[in-house]
Structure 1
Amino acid sequence: MKITALISFLLLNIASLLMHTAHAQPAGAHEDHFLYQIKPGDTLSSLSETFTSSPANWQAIKKANRIANTRKIPTGITLRIPFNLIDEVPDQAKIIYLTGDVLVNNQPIRKNHLISEADTITTGAQSNITFELSDESKVQIPPDSIVHVQRLRKFRGAGLIDAIFDIQTGKVAAHASPNKTGVGRFEIRTPVSITGVRGTVVRAEAANQTGASSELLHGKAAFIPGASRYQPVLLNANQGITATSKGEAGDIIELLPPPDIQLSQSSPFEFKVDIKPVSGAIAYLVRVSNDISGYDVLFGNTVKKPETSVTGPGKGTYYVSVRSIDNNQLAGADAVQPFTITATGIMTESGVSIGTQSGPLLQTQY
């Protein structure tokens, strides 16, 4: 079975996972249908008016669901609404953070650039971009990644997101539907897998030689490897999974916990980070951000020893985050601590610190 034919399995299972969420009746998609969980007071006419181009489409919805009596539709059942009836409009995402060299369609961009359907985003070394969809879902693309925005639309009436991000190489992190309003569809794809998310914090990676992986930090998600003819693998919080380059899934793996970290100032512009070793960790990803949530990343580094040093581009307060990496290259949640630089550094226009062998250049007051 081709991977595109498996999307139905993926999204149907996402729906079954998330139907008990009180504030989120939208339940993903299945094949050519948007799924909606009936709540008290819903009628085919009202749903047709909300989600489609015409209230008269209730008859087509009735036919698609083989409903005999429209006055007795049980609360809680999943209604299938054909996508060809849903009035969708193009959507755009606004860039909220941008660091380093980022290209969109092979052209350099600035923060005021809008991300649209069919864009291809390329991040260079020590580069990062975070953009926000119209429902406040956030998508972050870290360094050395190429991601194609395969679909970026929204329902005209309900404002639900219909988005597909295709990782050609590298990584994507996403927080889908943070306000728990639900999505029409939200997928992160690689050449050998699909991860469907909703109300979820998830990371996904595609590597040319080693396959793909997903790390679920919050919520629930479904991971489907390209070679599987079975149901998707359902992930809970703090679980991850890998797939080989042939699309064969591994076992569900519990993600490593965030490490304990201690910071001590070693100079006016540098802090030493001591990491308490985590059992099973072979390395640690250390990043410095402007914000506590880690969306506005300035730079990062993977270290094998449980110690390193961090700095900032200038005077101010920054945040160091550290996550443990296991031998499957899966990473867990971040440990985060603030630190304050008292010296004033010099950085490039794109926000990267200008460094020397002994640290960043400093702006000295004379």
Structure 2
Amino acid sequence: MILRPSLYALAAVLALASGPALCAPRAAARPAKPAAAPADPPVRYVVRRGDTLFDLGRAYLRKANDYRHVQRANQISRPRAMPVGKTLTIQADLLKTQPIDARLSAFSGKVEIETDGRRVPAEKGMTLREGQRVITGPGAFATFEMEDASRVTLPSNTAMRVVRLRNVVLTNAPQRVFRLDEGRSAIQATPDPNPNARFEVRTPVSISAVRGTEFRVAATEGRAQTEVLKGAVGVGPGEAPPLGPPVPAGFGVTVAPGGTGVSAPVALLPAPTLNAADQNQTDRTVHFAVHPQAGAAGYRLLLSRDAGFVDLFAEATQAEAAADFGPLEDGVYFVRVTALDPAGLEGAPADYSFDRDLDVLEAGAPPVAEASGKHRNFLFRWSAAGGGVRSFRFQLFAGARPAAPIIDQPGLVEPQLTLTDLPPGLYSWRVSATRVKNGVVTEKVAPLQSLTIGR
């Protein structure tokens, strides 16, 4: 039977989100010099009938002869006949461990893996090892996953070091410890019933140790903030216990510069609501509008190729309740929307799918008369973009407020039409497009354009 101090009742975690009003990502901070990791807590083992220190040394210690350290530390006079039920305290660094598999499951943009100060470009499926750092540049994202489906996602301008990624043979307890030097992180830790299991996220001023929950951690300029989405997280200043009372789901805390203490829990803002029309994106650029929320100082929008938000590829953080992400290939994507309070705490997320199906119809420049013999030709042009097969309909009206069209030409294949000898006067015109794509017929009408023809 194995006993060990309950590995920090509920974890401590602190994260600092970047402030609310930032359209462009902050420049990546200079990599922090790695700090010495706090010593791992000792393991306690209860002696069973037939145990000897020699057998324990051969089975569970890195070096069999290290049983002598255990003997001295526990004042054992008879290593071959230990009292049954006696509790042994064993230094963690004496114990055999096995590496835990963690792989880079998705990334986009400039992501690098740093090993002993040397950086190499990330590759999907790369195995991560203790001591390595994952570094995301501006506009870059990375997600790595462990054997038990626990997951860590890092957005832009973030650096996280793998401190521990091993399983202790004696207790069969996974040890997963990460240090967030700078930036933000989102963690989904799969619950583990083993009381000796550890899952910690440390920052320069805080520690987070969980037994299984969903939370976010961020750190910048000496501050740290944590937002708890599921379960509960114990929070403490510094990089080792003691931890404060568990922070429940729906609340966040802050650790000030210097790690002097943990703030009182603050209720996170509720999930914002996205404009329903934005779930169908047909314009040249992908843009979203969020219904303004009371108490929000800013909004954050994340784009992903999957509903689990593993494969992230774009982010916007700004004060306005809207964001434009530029052009995007056709397909089905997902957007996650959160609100930021004045202290920078990020609220509950709302996830939406959206269809990207470029379908643009735009009028060109006003036509100019070109002489051809005794006639004047007026070339009308327009443009269309997106997949499918289109036919166009051109309409010309007399005056600024159209009634019945004086010219109505449907069935045009090319985005242009030439009209001859239009009399001087005020006209208005428009074009519509009928598109057939995957058996679906849609129609789009361009705005009305005005045109004055002189003598």
TM-score normalised over the length of structure 2 = 0.59
Contact (CA 8 Å) 2:44, 2:89: kept in 1 or not? yes
Distance 1:259 1:181, change over 3 A: farther
Contact (CA 8 Å) 1:171, 1:205: kept in 2 or not? yes
> Which residue, 144, 163, 166 being the options, matches 2:179?
166
- Note the C-alpha offset of 1:81: 7.0
State the alpha-carbon separation in 2 of the partners of residues 130 and 90 from structure 1. Answer: 19
- Note the C-alpha offset of 1:82: 5.5
Is 1:274 aligned with 2:289?
yes
Is 1:53 aligned with 2:59?
yes
**What letter corresponds to residue 145 of structure 1 in structure 2?**
T
- Provide the residue aligned with 1:257 in structure 2: 270
Correspondence list, 1:115-264, <5 A: 115-156=128-169, 160-178=173-191, 184-208=197-221, 210-226=222-238, 231-248=243-260, 249-264=262-277
- Provide the residue aligned with 2:111 in structure 1: 102
- Provide the residue aligned with 2:357 in structure 1: 342
Contact (CA 8 Å) 1:91, 1:117: kept in 2 or not? no
**What letter corresponds to residue 205 of structure 2 in structure 1?**
V
Give unpaired runs (5+ residues) of structure 2. 12-38, 62-66, 75-81, 360-384, 390-455
- Provide the residue aligned with 1:26 in structure 2: none
> Which residue, 334, 346, 355 being the options, matches 1:319?
334
Contact (CA 8 Å) 1:273, 1:308: kept in 2 or not? yes
Correspondence list, 1:59-74, <5 A: 70=85
Alignment deviations for residues 6-40 of structure 1 (CA, whole Å, 9 cap, x no partner): xx99943338xxxxxxxxxxxxxx9623589x9xx
Contact (CA 8 Å) 2:269, 2:346: kept in 1 or not? yes
- Note the C-alpha offset of 1:227: 10
State the alpha-carbon separation in 2 of the partners of residues 245 and 202 from structure 1. Answer: 21
- Structure 2 counterpart SS, 1:332: coil
**What letter corresponds to residue 344 of structure 2 in structure 1?**
Q
- Provide the residue aligned with 2:448 in structure 1: none
Contact (CA 8 Å) 1:135, 1:160: kept in 2 or not? no
**What letter corresponds to residue 341 of structure 2 in structure 1?**
D
**What letter corresponds to residue 59 of structure 2 in structure 1?**
S
Aligned residues: 312
**What letter corresponds to residue 199 of structure 2 in structure 1?**
F
State the alpha-carbon separation in 2 of the partners of residues 132 and 114 from structure 1. Answer: 10
State the alpha-carbon separation in 1 of the partners of residues 282 and 151 from structure 2. Answer: 35
Distance 1:228 1:158, change over 3 A: closer
Greater RCO (Cα-Cα under 8 Å, separation 6 or more): 2
State the alpha-carbon separation in 2 of the partners of residues 274 and 363 from structure 1. Answer: 23
Contact (CA 8 Å) 1:211, 1:244: kept in 2 or not? yes
Contact (CA 8 Å) 1:167, 1:190: kept in 2 or not? yes
State the alpha-carbon separation in 2 of the partners of residues 311 and 80 from structure 1. Answer: 59
Contact (CA 8 Å) 1:170, 1:206: kept in 2 or not? yes
- Provide the residue aligned with 2:41 in structure 1: 32
- Note the C-alpha offset of 1:146: 1.2
State the alpha-carbon separation in 1 of the partners of residues 157 and 247 from structure 2. Answer: 26
Distance 1:123 1:271, change over 3 A: closer
Contact (CA 8 Å) 1:320, 1:338: kept in 2 or not? yes
Distance 1:93 1:139, change over 3 A: same
Between 179-188 and 131-140, the greater mean CA deviation after superposition: 179-188
- Provide the residue aligned with 2:92 in structure 1: 83
Contact (CA 8 Å) 1:183, 1:198: kept in 2 or not? no
Contact (CA 8 Å) 1:310, 1:320: kept in 2 or not? no
Higher helix share: 1
- Provide the residue aligned with 1:356 in structure 2: none
- Note the C-alpha offset of 1:120: 1.3
State the alpha-carbon separation in 1 of the partners of residues 97 and 193 from structure 2. Answer: 20
- Structure 2 counterpart SS, 1:331: coil
> Which residue, 312, 324, 327 being the options, matches 1:297?
312
State the alpha-carbon separation in 1 of the partners of residues 139 and 151 from structure 2. Answer: 20
Distance 1:227 1:184, change over 3 A: closer
Give 1 or 2 for the bigger CA radius of gyration: 2
- Provide the residue aligned with 1:348 in structure 2: none
- Provide the residue aligned with 2:20 in structure 1: none
**What letter corresponds to residue 323 of structure 1 in structure 2?**
T
Contact (CA 8 Å) 2:60, 2:170: kept in 1 or not? no
- Note the C-alpha offset of 1:290: 0.9
State the alpha-carbon separation in 1 of the partners of residues 270 and 44 from structure 2. Answer: 35
- Structure 2 counterpart SS, 1:53: helix
State the alpha-carbon separation in 2 of the partners of residues 152 and 229 from structure 1. Answer: 20
State the alpha-carbon separation in 1 of the partners of residues 44 and 297 from structure 2. Answer: 42
Distance 1:243 1:14, change over 3 A: same
State the alpha-carbon separation in 1 of the partners of residues 102 and 290 from structure 2. Answer: 36
State the alpha-carbon separation in 1 of the partners of residues 126 and 224 from structure 2. Answer: 29
Distance 1:134 1:229, change over 3 A: closer
Distance 1:182 1:260, change over 3 A: farther
TM-score normalised over the length of structure 1 = 0.71
